[in-house]
Amino acid sequence: MDAIKVFEDKKVRSHYDKDNEIWYFSVIDIVEILTGSSVPKRYWSDLKNKLIKEGSETYEKIVRLKMLAEDGKNRLTDVADAETLLRIIQSIPSPKAEPFKLWLAKVGYERIQEIQDPVQSIDRARENWKQHGRSEKWIQQRMMGQETRNKLTDYWKEAGIEEKNEFAILTNIIHQEWTGLSVKEHKEAKGLKTQNLRDHMSEAELIFTALAELSTRQIAENDEAKGLIENAVASKKGGTVAKNARVELEQQTGKNVVTHENFLPPSERKKTFPKKK
């Protein structure tokens, strides 16, 4: 995100949608930087027409937001999220776009490898966490937690949960129940934006998250839960199992399991933390 926001030493106007946790970037700014066009709006207009004629769905994903213009006023302009922006960059014949295109090709190739051999995906994740200073113990717990999560989402799919927002709703029910915080509140407490919450959990938070999701799956399987409503009930029950264990541990140790701690650079860390419910 930082590489896009400041590209070629020029600032790209951006906006962070907190509700949906999405970064949006000014398309005009990117076009101007990549093409050097004196009239980037015209270049972008021509490119939009070309994409439409090609049958690309890229243009349909463009959003209009107000951003600060050169005249100092907030004016509506075309913006795109990172995925859509990279697709636009692919359509621009510019030497400056080559680094992005090469990166996309590399990511695409690695994704194909991971589909053919899932072990490669695990190895890359492990190496990435090592590079960010995670301990072997933390990495093992993170990977075990992900396996527990995958088994739960597999059950949800079989139980008729299909929409992305339904997965988010059930996940939030579990998280809210065992932590006393919504996923969004927990991320804000840790000073996170687009970062993955689980990548910034402590070992204890990972363990209790796994306990909550394991309990949810086993309860749902036992109750033969189907659809959103029945799985929401199972999710609350599963979260409660982990909540009771958390409360018991905190009473025994006098330490909070859920904290504001994260793995961000010290300058970005948030010091406050909302009171658990």
- Range 65-98 burial, b when 16+ CB lie within 10 A, else e: eebeeeeeeeeebbbbbeebbbbbbeebeeeebe
- pLDDT attached to residue 275: 53
The distance from CA 17 to its chain's CA centroid, rounded to whole angstroms, is 12
CA distance 247 to 274: 17
Q: Which residues of 129-151 are buried (b: 16+ CB within 10 A; e: fewer)?
A: beeeebeeebbebbeebeebbee
Alpha helices in 38-163 (DSSP H): 40-53, 82-90, 98-116, 118-131, 136-158
pLDDT at residue 115, as a whole number? 52
**What pLDDT was estimated at residue 97?**
74
- Domain limits of the chain? 2-106, 118-268
Q: Is the dihedral of CA 112, 113, 114, 115 positive or negative?
A: positive
Helix (H) or strand (E) holding 215: helix 203-223
- The whole-model pTM stands at 0.62
Closest CA to 231 of 239, 150, 243: 239
Point out which residues pair with 17 in neighbouring strands.
Answer: 22
The pLDDT averaged over each successive group of 10 residues in the chain (277 residues) is: 54 78 84 87 90 81 87 88 83 78 60 54 73 87 91 95 91 97 94 88 96 98 96 98 97 95 72 51
- For residue 4, what are its two tokens? 């896009």
CA nearest 91: which of 66, 55, 125? Answer: 55
* Residues 171, 183 contacting (CB under 8 angstroms): yes
Task: Give residue 248's pLDDT.
Answer: 97
CA 124 to chain CA centroid, Å, is 18
H helix and E strand count, the chain: 11, 6
Straight-line distance from the first to the last Cα atom of the chain, in angstroms, rounded to the nearest whole number? 33
9: its two tokens: 């030493």
